[in-house]
Structure 1
Amino acid sequence: MNRIFTVEEARALMPALLGHASDLIAIRADLAEIGHDLGSTGRSRLGGIPEAKALEARVAEILGWFGEQGIEVKGVAPLLVDFPAVLSGVSVRLCWIEGETALGWYHRSELGFPGRRPLP
């Protein structure tokens, strides 16, 4: 989906985004633990390969939600997402990274994360 967001539209999605992000972060940690434990001891308190596969499926589902909304996932550890937008006639990405509680940053589309600035 090639959606262009207004700041207001992106901010309206933030409660749902934060919920999906919270789920993804917890699942990501569980997957890391299962993978480490299975690799080092052959077992994990969180389960085995079937449980890991179920968690991977849930990650794919969550990432699919972002894509369905038109939100670009730029990274998963930490979770970093962009909302395509236009500010003052310039193509930008409204930028959110794991740990932030609100959408408050943007960068020109061609600059990426190093070009982040506070939203006006």
Structure 2
Amino acid sequence: MAKRYFSLDEAQALVPRVREMMGRALQLHGHLRAAIARLDATGTEVSWPVLRGEEALEDSDEFTEGLLRRARGLYFALRETISETEAIGVEVKGVVDGLVDFRSWRDGHEEVLLCWKLGEDEIEWFHGVDDGFAGRRPIAGHRFTAERERPDQALPTDPS
């Protein structure tokens, strides 16, 4: 999928929708962890291939198979929710933290990621493409555009 770039206003407008989607993903993740814990309590170790339905459980009974069907359903619902979120151009960085990034151009020239985390009211941070969450800096004093600008298009930034 091609990378999508957002202006700050476009990204801010999507925050309510992304908040709902990431909230749903977090709930599904919690239910999935509980379902896997129930399977673990029966002595059943669930691998990724088993969870994805690529492999079957060995020596399982009807109760365990029922637990596994629930876990698989939750897993696929979680994957679908993440896919729906990413389909609007948002990059999901962490379900548990509700962390997402929106690609943008800082001051029209530097590719950056507008960073938002579940629980925050709006986007207030950005970081470089290679910096990650630890490199978050405030958006204040910068413009964020959906398209890269030519140097002769740039507007001067407010130095304050």
Relative to the length of structure 1, the TM-score reads: 0.88
Secondary structure at the residue paired with 1:35?
Answer: helix
Equivalents in 2 of 1:18, 1:78: separation in Å? 12
Equivalents in 1 of 2:122, 2:37: separation in Å? 33
The alignment of Structure 1 onto Structure 2 pairs a total of residues equal to: 118
- Hey, what does 1:34 align to over in structure 2? 35
Q: Which runs of structure 2 are paired with 1:67-82 in the superposition (5 Å)? A: 67-82=86-101
Q: Which has the higher contact order (CA 8 A, sep 6+)?
A: 2
Q: What per-residue deviation string (whole Å, max 9, x for no partner) do you get for residues 35-69 of structure 1?
A: 1121013679xx61111111111111111112211
Which has the larger strand fraction? 1
Which amino acid is the alignment partner of residue 84 of structure 2? Answer: W
Which amino acid is the alignment partner of residue 23 of structure 2? Answer: S
Equivalents in 2 of 1:59, 1:87: separation in Å? 32
Q: Which runs of structure 2 are paired with 1:77-116 in the superposition (5 Å)? A: 77-88=96-107, 89-116=109-136
The answer to whether structure 1 residue 50 and structure 2 residue 69 are counterparts is yes
Matched-pair identity in %: 33
What are the ranges of 5 or more consecutive residues in structure 1 without an aligned counterpart?
A: none
- Hey, what does 1:24 align to over in structure 2? 25
Q: Root-mean-square deviation (CA), in Å?
A: 1.8
Which structure has the larger Rg?
2
Which amino acid is the alignment partner of residue 29 of structure 1? Answer: G
Relative to the length of structure 2, the TM-score reads: 0.68
Secondary structure at the residue paired with 2:28?
Answer: helix
What are the ranges of 5 or more consecutive residues in structure 2 without an aligned counterpart?
A: 44-62, 141-160
Shift of 1:104: 1.4
Equivalents in 2 of 1:70, 1:84: separation in Å? 8
Secondary structure at the residue paired with 2:32?
Answer: helix
- Hey, what does 2:5 align to over in structure 1? 4
| Structure 1 ranges of 4+ moved more than 4 A | none
